[in-house]
Amino acid sequence: MSALETASSYADLHWAVIPLCGVKHQCPSPGKVPVNLQTGTHLSGWQGRGIPTPDELETWLNSPLALRANIGVLTGRPSWLIGIDIDGEGGEFLLNKHAQGDLPPTWEYQTGGGRRLIYAYEEGLRSVKISGDGEHEGLEILADGRQMVLPPSVHHTGYTYAWQSGRDPWSGSTPLAPCPAWVRTLAGANAAPKDWVAIARTPVSHGGRHPTIVQLAAHMASKGEAPEYIVAILEAWNEARCKPPKDVTEIRRIVAWALEQHPPESDKPALAEWKTKDQWIRSKAKELGCSLEAARQIVERGMGA
Ligand SMILES: [Zn+2]
């Protein structure tokens, strides 16, 4: 299977996958740079890309460069994940030094020069490079504004990137782990807090809808909001802000995904900080900029009231 043929399985995970040049590409980093599959030139502005649509995926597979291309994913906010790139012995040394054993099992794959761990993204995490002794050796946290090569891409040495057994996103053996505290310390120090109100109030069109819904769902799930409330409020937000609104089943699918990443704590009442349901609806409607009545109706409907 060519690397690009796996793109749809990654897109199903809501990952902003992107085609990369092949290992024979005449460039300083063959096999690692986002590429235009029609022209074979490197892409600019790829940082703003989202999750490819089924039509885009089909165009990719029918392009002249489809068989040679590698596949990568935008890290950080677009895919709601961060990559920890551990390169060589120097990378492992730095990992041990910073992690001090705090390495919850998570998705992991082998790269040409080492391995890569994937953790759930958190708002504000930035990309950081921690250099080792060797030229390529080191530790890197890949978040906003970066991308990383994915299995089964081919490394210029001929090695094929491969998921560790039981550590892939599909088998269900290991779930995606939350971001460990040491990563937050290294990557979050200068991060500005995210302006959720501004995000929720900005109208979004086609390409922006999916990543924004993913962000909002993950944000609310990480705050421990009740699943039915998250669905209800995102449906209200979808109607108010998405041009055109997305299909409701898609919203539910994204919320289900977000809850898998941030399982609700059963012993913690999700609405503890809200005195009443009405107060909650009022505050959310205000935060998301949709009308109170619309939010209330949808919440009532969602709650089966
Ligand atoms: Zn290239």
pLDDT, one tens digit per residue, over 26-57 is 999 999 999 999 999 999 999 888 899 999 99
Distance (angstroms) between ligand 1 centre and the Cα of 38 equals 14
**Cα 20–Cα 21–Cα 24 angle in degrees, nearest 5:** 150
Cα-to-centroid distance, 46 and ligand 1 (Å): 14
Q: How far does residue 62's CA lie from ligand 1's centre (Å)?
A: 20
The per-residue pLDDT for 268 is: 46
pLDDT at 305 over 70: no
Task: Name the region of 80 (left: φ>0; alpha: ψ -120 to 50; beta: rest).
Answer: left
In the predicted model, what is the mean pLDDT of residues 154-182?
Answer: 91
Question: What average pLDDT does this structure show over 120-139?
Answer: 79
Say how many Å lie between the CA of residue 128 and the centre of ligand 1. Answer: 23
pTM, entire model: 0.67
Distance 31 CA to ligand 1 centre (A): 6
Give the pLDDT confidence score for residue 154 in this predicted structure.
96
Predicted confidence at residue 278, as pLDDT, reads: 67
Query: Biggest alpha carbon distance in the chain?
Result: 63
Spacing, Cα 55 to ligand 1 middle (Å):
24
- Measure the N-to-C terminal CA separation of the chain; round to a whole number of Å: 50
**43-47, 82-86, 171-175: least confident range:** 171-175
Residue 3 Cα to ligand 1 midpoint, Å, equals 15
305/283: higher pLDDT: 283
CA–centroid distance, residue 66 to ligand 1 (Å): 14
Q: Is 31 helix (H, G, I), strand (E, B) or coil?
A: coil
Instruction: Tell me the domain boundaries of the chain.
Output: 3-188, 196-303
| Tokens encoding 282 | 């009022």
Burial (CB count within 10 angstroms: exposed 0-12, middle 13-18, buried 19+), residue 76: buried
What's the full length of the chain, in residues?
A: 305
Query: How much distance in Å is there from the Cα of 198 to the middle of ligand 1?
Result: 37
Q: Determine the distance separating the centroid of ligand 1 and the alpha carbon of 18, expressed in angstroms.
A: 13
Distance 24 CA to ligand 1 centre (A): 8
